[in-house]
Amino acid sequence: MFVDAHCHIDALEERTGETFDSLLAQMETPPEAFIHNAPNLAAFEYARIISETHANVYATYGIHPEDIENFDEARLIITDYWSHERCVACGEFGLDYHYGADTREEQLRVFETQLDDALETGKPLVLHLREAEDDSIAILKNANIANTKIHVHCFTSNREYAEKLLGISDNIYIGFTGILTFRTADYIREAASIVPMNRLLLETDSPFMAPVPYRGKPSHGGMIPHIAKQLAEIKNVELDELYASVRQNTRDVYGV
């Protein structure tokens, strides 16, 4: 069995025009569970409700670097959501200079503040780190994260960055999405090749980045097997071995 370790069910419903239950029924091989992420203030209540009404859905809450304009407002209430019984982690939050290089200074402020707040909860962290390698490494090295499980989600960088992240803490795990199957993603496959089996996570970031052969369509948790097959080939292990290892990693990080 496997878990979709990072998805956005509300965005999937919006993109497809279907309900989660309808989509779930159409999945040939549905995940055992979903880690649904609420990346901005407007998404918090949806995450709470779907995690309360679906036994196989767990929630995380954070302010994505593209949504930092409402961080100060969200900060007033996010701790209430972090303490909810169905919340398994804080995030996603972090840095994204691909789309937000012009807001770098504000992103850094929000990242450091949100990181400090989240560490107070004792829960795992979900980090979005895109094209911000130097700043993210510097911040994480200076943070008290040694005993905190961290999911660096949707890894899109190179081998060198993966090595630096893994070297910071034994509790940092790296998640791979459908991008791993893209023809142009050799550098990401090379990075995946050096991540130890006990530090890997499988995710879709649904509805984004559907794996080949579904590229261009909305992704969903039922597509995890295509990502897993590619990852097993990269790691040169049997698919069942990969599933077993990653499933244990998901338990270790999220407790589900």
- Please state the φ and ψ torsions of residue 132, each to the nearest 5 degrees: -140, 45
**Peptide bond preceding 92 in cis form (omega within 30 of 0):** yes
Q: Is 123 within a domain?
A: yes
Q: Is 168 within a domain?
A: yes
Report the pLDDT value the prediction gives residue 117, as an integer from 0 to 100: 98
Q: Is 1 within a domain?
A: no
Mean pLDDT, to the nearest integer, of 223-236? 98
Domain that holds residue 192: 14-254
Report the pLDDT value the prediction gives residue 110, as an integer from 0 to 100: 98
Report the pLDDT value the prediction gives residue 103, as an integer from 0 to 100: 94
Q: What is the CATH number of the domain that holds 72?
A: 3.20.20.140
Domain count, the chain: 1
Amino acid of residue 59: A
Cα–Cα distance, 132 to 204 (Å, whole number): 21
Residue identified by tokens 């497809």 is 16
Q: Is 208 within a domain?
A: yes
Residue 99: pLDDT above 90?
no
Mean pLDDT, to the nearest integer, of 38-44? 97
Cβ-contact 12, 20 below 8 angstroms:
yes
Mean pLDDT, to the nearest integer, of 97-106? 91
Q: Is 53 within a domain?
A: yes
Q: Is 5 within a domain?
A: no
Q: Note the pLDDT tens digit of each residue in 230-245.
A: 999 999 999 999 999 9
- Please report which confidence band the pLDDT of residue 11 belongs to, taking 50, 70 and 90 as the band edges: very high
Instruction: For the full predicted model, state whether its pTM sits above 0.75.
Output: yes
Q: Is 79 within a domain?
A: yes
- Please report which confidence band the pLDDT of residue 101 belongs to, taking 50, 70 and 90 as the band edges: confident
Mean pLDDT, to the nearest integer, of 150-156? 98
Q: Is 6 within a domain?
A: no
Mean pLDDT, to the nearest integer, of 78-101? 96
- Please report which confidence band the pLDDT of residue 100 belongs to, taking 50, 70 and 90 as the band edges: confident
